[in-house]
Amino acid sequence: MNLIVDVGNTHIKLAIYSRGRLKEKVVGELADFETIVADVLKNHENISQAIVSSVGKLKESQVKMLSTKIKVLELSYKLKLPFRNLYATPKTLGADRIALVSACVEQFPDNNALIIDAGTCITYDFINAENEYLGGAISPGIRLRYKTLNNLTANLPLLDTKMPQDILGDSTQNSIHSGVVFGVLKEIDGVIDEYVKKYSDLTVILTGGDTKLLSNQLKNSIFANSNFLLEGLNFILEYNSQ
């Protein structure tokens, strides 16, 4: 059994995979890392190895604590990867983006594919049918846009995310919802349209925390999978264990 550890800026996700299937997923606060890991290992004694992906602030001592219990692989661009990385600055390619592209290689091999991760940031990653990763784009995510409007203006409130009923906002709150959510939807559809101009056989995967909110609102055809990053991490762990 494999333990997948995905560390964000404030939260962690732990997933347990057995023979390629997700058995359990735990989400918690980064501050509770040691306790959460200890509980998972206690309840699943058959876990033999783990992969750690950290875009947040996981301490070296926390990784060492885990490595004293089971074999641990830390994700980085230096690992053996299942694709050719043609990014101009491979050292700066985020662990989350590496994992997403790896999941795409496993599940959609030999495809021109665009992976869209709608989280704190919206990342776009493209891999071609020759298994070459070429890059993509990064833009602010939905919550970041709400927070920016509140932080950088004097009179705009911080709102909870809400799908607007109409593009025409008839109040300040409805105008914010319209601007943020429809803005993101139009951006994503627009990016997909530009890729389709170059690659008519494009496969599009949508993942991330806002998948559920956005997936049914996009005009383009997509595959929605909220666990795509975890699946990519599990694939990388297996790929490096061969």
Active-site residue (options: 6, 96, 117, 125): 96
- 182 with 168: CB under 8 angstroms? no
Instruction: Give the CB-side neighbour count of residue 147, counting CA atoms within 13 A.
Output: 7
How far apart CA 9 and CA 29 sit, in angstroms, is 9
Longest dimension (CA), the chain: 58
Would residue 110 show up in a list of annotated catalytic residues for this protein? no
- DSSP-assigned states of every residue in 56-111: S---HHHHHHHHTTSEEEE--TTS--SSEE--SSGGGS-HHHHHHHHHHHHHSTT-
Q: Among all residues, which ones are annotated catalytic? A: 96
